[in-house]
Structures are given as structure tokens and as C-alpha cells.
Structure 1
Amino acid sequence: MIDEFAKQYLHGDLREIREEMLGKLDGLGEYDIRRPLTATGTNLLGLVKHLTLTEARYFGDIFGRPFPEPLPRWDDRAVRGKDMWATEHETRDEIISRYRQAWAHSDATITELAVDTPGHVPWWPRPDVMLFNILVHVLTETNRHAGHADILREQLDGALASDGHHDAEFWASRHAEIERAARAVAQ
């Protein structure tokens, strides 16, 4: 049986990782939060924009609680992937504000509905779900992109996702140790 404790636990984790995601933008200029850092164009602000759509759609349409602003249709192939980057006309503040609006909308859905409330995800192979399934899915999706953000931020300025136990000197030494091991097997 899925209970209220599970819902509150997952919701708490989602709230924490949202803040971590936004923290990856701190101290960076406009270019760095937007610039494509992988072959597919992955960038920090794009990840935030993508997670906005993720939360708005999954905690909105899936439960008959549409997000108050227009969203692209999930089945519109022409707009697929455009949520992964910010145009020059979209500001950091607008994207962050919209993400926070999605949080508020999601939080209301999570708070007001029972954990076993049914929903329907038309693009999933097993489309009939419960709020529990969506909480797990969105938490997983957000954590996946937070990991991407950790790596992107480290590429940009060396900022590390701190575990609270190691400093930059430790990580430099660890990096050198791993490099030595990699080179040893390459010979």
C-alpha cells in the first residue's frame, strides 16, 4: 500500500532537487548558462526550461489540472526539443519565474490529491497511472538533469557538487589518480 508518508517523502526530495537545479545557475553570466556544452546542445538554462515543461505537464494535464499558461502539445513534433534551450528573447528571470510557477502548480496537485489518484499519460506504453507514479517519474527526471547540470557546471568553472567532505585539492588529486589508472591500461 502506498501511503501519505511515501508521498510526503518523494515531494520533499523533489523540492530539494529543484533548488539544487536553480543553484547551478548562480554566479554565471548569460552566455555560460545558455551555451551548448555537448554535441546535442545541452545547457544549464535549457535544463531548467525543460523541467518547467515536465512539471507543468505531468502534474497538470495528467490529472486534469492544466497549467495556467499555454504549453506546446505533447504530440507536436515541430516543437519537440525546443524546451531544451532558451532563445535570445527569453530571459533568465522569465525562465526561472516560470519554473517556480510550475513548482507552485505541481505542489498544489501533489498536496491536494491522494497518492493513489488516477491519471492518464497518453504517450506512455502503460498510460494509466497514479500520482505516485508521476511523483517517482518527475523526481527521477529532475535528478537525471541535476546530474547533467553538475557536469555542465564543472565544465564551465570547476564548481563541484559538494559532498561536504572534500575540497578542490582532494578532487585534483583524485583526478590525477584516475588519469594515471586510465593511462596505465591504455599502454
Structure 2
Amino acid sequence: MEKREATVTEERLPKRRREEACDSGRPAGEEERQESVIPLLLMKINQQLRASADRNLEEWGLTLSQARVLHVIGEHGGSVAQRELERILEVSHPTVVGLVSRMQKNGFVNISIDTKDHRNKIVSFAEKAYKHKVSLRWQHLDVDDRLLRGMTEEEIRQAEILLRRMYRNVQDWEEGRA
């Protein structure tokens, strides 16, 4: 078998490097923006938070995704329509169905038919969820404290503004508006 030499095609190069290689013809004096490390940092933060949360929740038999479901239910007074869960969590119908089915099987939630609209299901706290609700709330606050440690109120406010803007930009991009 003939061994092929690895070649880097122009399409596989990052845009910035393609432009350098092709002499993009930028106007004189226009500075090139450095490649941002923000996406990498956001990904690393997300991975660390997920891993830490999953380790802490394991003792209760929950995952981070399931804890998010319980958080939303709690924010809605103990019960919420399954479709509303999909909307708030921004996940697909099959994902929510799988999550709440496992949670029902493990005794964290009850699922019932909406009496006003029989096409909808209502997801509500089961007794086991009430036992962990306070602990989950304290864990959520602990994550906030650790994540925001050393930041001033102004830095926290600015970080939230910038992260919300980035999130909107990603949503626009996904929806073809950017």
C-alpha cells in the first residue's frame, strides 16, 4: 500500500491563515484581528461545570440535565407543561421525553395529562424531588459563588451582558440571520 504524504489543503486552513497565504489585499494600515480564545474558554468552562455537576449529582442519581429539569419545575411552582420544558431548556421533544421518562422511573417526577388540553403532559415534582430541592438550590448557589469568585458586581453585570450578546449572535447564526 502506497503511503500518502499528508497535505494541508486551502479549505482546511483557518480563514485567517488562508488570507495570509493568499495576501488578502487588506487596505494598508488595517490591523488583523487576532483569533479569539473565547470559544475555547467557553467550551472548557462548560466541560468543567458539567463534569463537576455530574459528580456532585451522582450521589442522588441525577444528571445535570435532569437537575435542570427539576430547576425549571421548581421555578414554575412544582409543575410545568412538557412543551414548556422543551422551550425553556431549548431541547427537542424526544430529548425531554427521554429525560422525564427516566426521572419518572427513578421517582423524581410525576407525569400527568393536562386536564385543559389532553394533548399536553404536565411534569411535576414527585416526593423524591422535594427531598432534594433544597440541596439542589444550595448547590446552584455554590456554583455561582465559585464561578463568580473575585469578580466585582460591575464585572458580573458586564460578563452577563456580553455572554447574552454572544448567545443571541449564536442563535442568529443558527437561524441564518447572521
Higher relative contact order (Cα pairs below 8 Å, separated by 6+ residues): 1
Max Rg structure: 2
Q: Which has the higher strand share?
A: 2
Q: Does the pair score TM above 0.5?
A: no
Q: TM-score, normalising length from structure 1?
A: 0.27
